[in-house]
Structure 1
Amino acid sequence: MTNPDFAPDIEAIRSIDSVPVILSMVKHLTGMRFAAVARVTESNWVACAVDDSIDFGLKPGGELVLESTICHEIRQHQQPVIFGHASTHPVFSLHHTPKTYGLESYISIPIVKANGEFFGTLCAIDSVPANIDEPAITKTLTLFAQLIAMNLDTHRHLEATQIELNNANELGRLREQFIAVLGHDLRTPLSAVRMSADLLESKTEDKRSLNLIAAIRNSSVRMGVLIENILDFARGRLGGGIPVQRKLVDDLQQTLQLTLAEVKASHPQAIFIDELDVPAGVYCDELRISQLLSNLLGNAVTHGSNSTPIILKACAENDEIVISLTNQGTPISAQLMPLLFEPFSRAEAGQRCEGLGLGLYIASQIAMAHNGTLSVTSSAESGTCFVASFPARFKWV
């Protein structure tokens, strides 16, 4: 019965297609009738592959008592052992291994992996003498042992790659579950909260109650934005980019105006100045561009100064749509600037922030999905200015 501890080693050798050919070649080159690949450890000698023409009795998985073998010594010094006529040899005529197994000829080459780990030996034996003094024989068998070691390393790398692939597949499965939770299990109850707030508002005129209902509605809207941001992050970071559905849009300017109006309504304390001159026939995903602008506006309101206006401009320049947003306030630090379009960047840079820090990352991903860019400059004199630009139409139109 095969020791289960060595089943992976036997399987690794079995998976090397060239091993049977190598063992056959070893027998042909040496004239000996038994060849094997053995796994040799501190306590075990286990046959992993065998080519036996003398009925020695070993099969893959079969074991010899380690101390009865010469491989036990080879494991320690990791040098080949070769003799062609044991009974006349000055050393091996007295050695217990030839006497124990009735051997006259013997050759064993260590198999050592690239990391220096001793695996075992490539060996051949026979009960009759053999002419194996030719240096070319030792050199050829050494090359065979190295080839086996290289294949074992490749097998190990393939196993590690398979584990990584399985982990990646599991991550993909968890990602899909994660997106499903966000898309259904969170948004559904949130919609119920919003509908309940609308229903309560229609049934009361008490000012204090109306204020509480407004707070509930505003919180639910904010929660909805956070959920959508996390959902887009999951798609973009884990799934290969935020998806966009571009088409020719004739009223992108109106979409931008509606987006600005929504932000104005939810942030009455902020001051806005807008200059919008966007032509018809822009090739884009207008909902995603609206999301980009909403994220930039939200960032400007959060980090800008309430006493100075936020300036929004949008126009066509050199076959591109350019959207710029400028606000005053504390300039972006040099520490934060390289991280600005990475998720959770403000928290990583030790900045106080509201939300998860995904807004600018998602905005940049939307710009990228439109074959465009999102850039920023920031100084005390000129304020902080984000500029998003993307091709207005197909490049071949």
Structure 2
Amino acid sequence: MTEKKADLDYKQLFDDAPCGYLLVDTGGVIVGANAWMSTVLGYPAGGLDGKRLRDIFSIAARILYETNLAPLLKLQQAVSEVTLDLKRVDGTAVPVIMAASSAPNSSGLEDMTRIAFVHAGERRLYERQLVSARDSAEKDLAQQQSDGVLREQFIAILGHDLRNPLASISAAARILGKETLSDRSRQVIALMQGSALRMSGLIDNVLDFTRARLGGGIGVELHPEQALEPLLDQVVQELRASNPAHEIVATYDVTQPVKCDASKIGQLVSNLLGNALTHGDRATPIHFHAETTDSGLFRVWIANGGPSIPEEVIPKLFDPFARGESHGYKEGLGLGLFIASEIAKAHGGTLVVRSSEGETRFTFEMTI
């Protein structure tokens, strides 16, 4: 192959390359540009020769090159994967990725900087999308943090501003109940006490539901309870007082200490008994039993009469705001069973339901 032929092949490869090539001298003047560069920037063939490199850069790219890239080239003889904009002859921008080398080689170009460019339109679009997604995520995070403050305020209102007046109403009803009253007045006070009890349970359930959803579960403080039976009996007595027409038969065999959060166990029992009172057959007594076993378990079960829960309802029975509608099991399951289930989980225990014609039984078990 002759030297002239080799020169021709080299020039042809240089011009036909699917990317841009520039040769730039030490003074920053373009001494060679392939056809890709001329076409992309809107210059005629050879129209870039003799122009300064800075003239084909956008203002931002010029600043980047002169303050960052040129010093790097002197220091380490190469830069790569630099995203910047070139300037077309009509002033519009062309997004590109640049790589450059100024290391000496055997081709006699040791005093030249060799620069390659490829289109970066899709990459720049992707980068803009990433930036937009990041900005959107930051805004969403800020909104969630703001919402979190509102939720905390909501919890505070429920936990303080509603509990305190409710406690006052309950105390006032108890005081009036000790006075000499007519039968009608005693009925009214009983209704007030029942309503206050239901409202207190509702506040507890909403608070725990909110905490469970925000914090990933209901928090409990476990302490060895030497006398759990009086607390359970208090829950039963309160529900008896507010539901005098529905008999509750309670038995206890709690002979061992139970490591638990007593207030939460009381809430679990209250929710399960409240569910039985709402959905059970009023002509059939509700049976409540609590016990500790020789195998190291604390067990509570509550059974009510009435039609069975439909099979299709049972898998969703412990979901929040679950609704079932068939025979005695109609609307109104709400949060009670969900909160009871979450309390059981927080104690490392289980809450299961078995339902057949004539009896529905919820059983809670945990290790003591």
Distance 1:304 1:284 in 2: 28
Residues 204 and 210, structure 1, Cα contact 8 Å, conserved in 2: no
1:248 to 224, 235, 239: 224
Deviation at 1:252, TM superposition (A): 1.9
Matches within 5 A, 1:110-121: 121=95
Deviation at 1:291, TM superposition (A): 1.1
**Residue 59 of structure 1 corresponds to which residue in structure 2?**
59
1:343 to 320, 324, 330: 320
Superposition TM-score, scaled by structure 2 size: 0.65
2:165 to 185, 189, 194: 189
**Residue 22 of structure 2 corresponds to which residue in structure 1?**
30
Distance 1:362 1:57 in 2: 65
**Residue 322 of structure 1 corresponds to which residue in structure 2?**
299
Paired residues, number? 282
Residues 335 and 349, structure 1, Cα contact 8 Å, conserved in 2: no
Question: Secondary structure of the residue that 1:375 maps to in structure 2?
Answer: strand
RMSD, aligned α-carbons: 3.6
**Based on CA coordinates, which of the two structures has the bigger radius of gyration?**
2
One-letter amino acid matched to 2:54: I
Residues 344 and 351, structure 2, Cα contact 8 Å, conserved in 1: yes
**Residue 219 of structure 1 corresponds to which residue in structure 2?**
195
Deviation at 1:314, TM superposition (A): 2.6
Are residues 218 and 246 of structure 1, via their aligned partners in 2, closer, same or farther at CA, if it must alter by over 3 Å? same
Deviations 1:257-308 (A, max 9, x none): 3322322232222233334222322211111111111111111111111222
Residues 336 and 349, structure 1, Cα contact 8 Å, conserved in 2: no
**Residue 141 of structure 2 corresponds to which residue in structure 1?**
165
Deviation at 1:202, TM superposition (A): 5.7
**Residue 238 of structure 2 corresponds to which residue in structure 1?**
262
Residues 175 and 238, structure 1, Cα contact 8 Å, conserved in 2: no
Matches within 5 A, 1:1-397: 29-31=21-23, 53-55=53-55, 58-60=58-60, 98=89, 108=94, 121-122=95-96, 141-142=118-119, 147-198=123-174, 200-201=176-177, 205-317=181-293, 318-346=295-323, 352-354=330-332, 357-380=334-357, 383-392=359-368
Distance 2:344 2:292 in 1: 15
Distance 2:97 2:268 in 1: 69
Mean Cα deviation higher: 190-199 or 238-247: 190-199
Superposition TM-score, scaled by structure 1 size: 0.61
Are residues 153 and 233 of structure 1, via their aligned partners in 2, closer, same or farther at CA, if it must alter by over 3 Å? same
Question: Secondary structure of the residue that 1:31 maps to in structure 2?
Answer: strand
Question: Secondary structure of the residue that 2:221 maps to in structure 1?
Answer: coil
Are residues 173 and 249 of structure 1, via their aligned partners in 2, closer, same or farther at CA, if it must alter by over 3 Å? same
Which runs of no fewer than 5 residues in structure 1 stay unpaired? 1-26, 35-51, 62-96, 109-120, 125-136, 393-397
Deviation at 1:347, TM superposition (A): 7.0
Are residues 321 and 353 of structure 1, via their aligned partners in 2, closer, same or farther at CA, if it must alter by over 3 Å? same
Which runs of no fewer than 5 residues in structure 2 stay unpaired? 1-18, 31-51, 62-87, 99-114
**Residue 76 of structure 2 corresponds to which residue in structure 1?**
none
Question: Secondary structure of the residue that 2:271 maps to in structure 1?
Answer: helix
Deviations 1:202-241 (A, max 9, x none): 6663443343333233222222221222112111222332
Deviation at 1:201, TM superposition (A): 4.9
Are residues 307 and 349 of structure 1, via their aligned partners in 2, closer, same or farther at CA, if it must alter by over 3 Å? closer
Are residues 319 and 192 of structure 1, via their aligned partners in 2, closer, same or farther at CA, if it must alter by over 3 Å? closer
One-letter amino acid matched to 2:349: G
Identity among equivalent positions (%) equals 36
Are residues 348 and 327 of structure 1, via their aligned partners in 2, closer, same or farther at CA, if it must alter by over 3 Å? closer
Are residues 367 and 57 of structure 1, via their aligned partners in 2, closer, same or farther at CA, if it must alter by over 3 Å? closer
